[in-house]
Amino acid sequence: MSLEVKGLGIDIAPIPRIARLIERYDRETLNLLFTPGELDRCQSSSHPHRSFAVCFATKEAVGKALGTGLAGIGWNEIEANLTQDRLTVHQHGDASIQAKRWGIHTWLATWCHWDEHVLVHVLALSNISVKEKFYEKCF
């Protein structure tokens, strides 16, 4: 088995803009954008605004990697988990259905920050057997 890249997504989020969003709305409203786990993890982070910006940019990047943006997918159906500088992506509901439709089984995600911005890069991967790949190239 080998991996095939099914999609690539990149997004940049300005930390001050996300901070204003977080400070403006209550938890019930923020649940439309973030999962309860994201809210808890980000709020308890040593850099909560940066953590929220990473989650926000991850959702945008995943939408780009799926090739559909976030059309038909709830923001809270894509979950970013940032622990000890490691970023993982999980999808639920329609986001999970869309990923399965494209054969995506794994997300690789990286992030960095500078000044007042975060950048998130995600790869959507699927398994493909070497035999299948050979067949595609020959026929």
Residue 76 belongs to a domain with what CATH number?
Answer: 3.90.470.20
**Contact present, 17 and 33 (Cβ < 8 Å):** no
Per residue in 95-126, pLDDT (tens digit) is 999 899 889 989 999 999 999 999 999 999 99
Would residue 137 count as lying in a domain?
no
Assign residue 103 a region (left: φ > 0; alpha: ψ between -120 and 50; beta: otherwise).
left
Res 78 pLDDT > 90: yes
Question: What per-residue confidence (pLDDT) applies to 77?
Answer: 95
Q: Which domain holds residue 65?
A: 2-128
For range 34-41, the mean pLDDT: 97
pTM beyond 0.85: the answer is yes
Mean per-residue pLDDT of the chain:
90
Q: How many domains does the chain have?
A: 1
* CA pair distance 73, 61, nearest whole angstrom: 13
The DSSP letter of residue 45 is S
Would residue 133 count as lying in a domain?
no
Would residue 107 count as lying in a domain?
yes
